[in-house]
Amino acid sequence: LLISHWACALLVVLNVAMVLIDLIGLMWLWDVSINSVSIINLVLAIGLAVDYSAHIAHAFMGASGTRDERMEKSLGEMGADVMHGAISTFIAVLITGTSKSYIFQVFFRQFFGICFFGMLHGIILLPVLLSLIGPPTHVKEEENVELELTSNNGEKQVATVSSEDPDDDINKAYNIPDVSNSQHAPDMAVGPTSEAMKVPESS
């Protein structure tokens, strides 16, 4: 729902399904059988894998430009965070790899696959799919509007006003200085002076 487009959400679901398929293949290679412990970890894998993919997809939908440009922006915005999340999760469970307990061994092996495949699918497979068949953005492109402005002395001029900051564009057209910075603000009285505020003494 937060991705705000059914096609993009479908790509995230497909990405999570691929992570689960890869994880089951890793379980077969690592002699991890299907039991109550591994099933619980598989359910946890869904929540972790969707986290890696949803961030990239959400950033893609919030970017403007072509598909390739939006893909680059989404990776630049969320790619490092996805990698940090996967690496930190793996470091957190790394100590369980030295345990002799069957439960902790299964936990380590499956979480290794979750972090590894989830990160790879989130920053490699999903961006490629989005750049090829990604849906259009829900962010409106910046529109420029030409306005005919008339100054106090009657002179007319055409100013291009953008939807991003129209006030600033109009001020530039009228040559109004930017007084937002106090260093360049002109000296002006903002209220009555202290002399005017004095109350005359009663005789």
Cβ neighbours of 46 (radius 10 Å): 14
Mean pLDDT, residues 186-203 taken together = 47
Q: Which two tokens stand for residue 7?
A: 């096609």
- Residue 182's pLDDT is what? 47
Mean pLDDT, residues 60-85 taken together = 92
CA-to-CA distance for 127 and 137, rounded, in angstroms? 14
- Residue 5's pLDDT is what? 83
Q: Are 109 and 32 in contact (CB under 8 A)?
A: yes
Q: Rounded to two decimals, what is the model's pTM?
A: 0.65
Q: Are 176 and 159 in contact (CB under 8 A)?
A: no
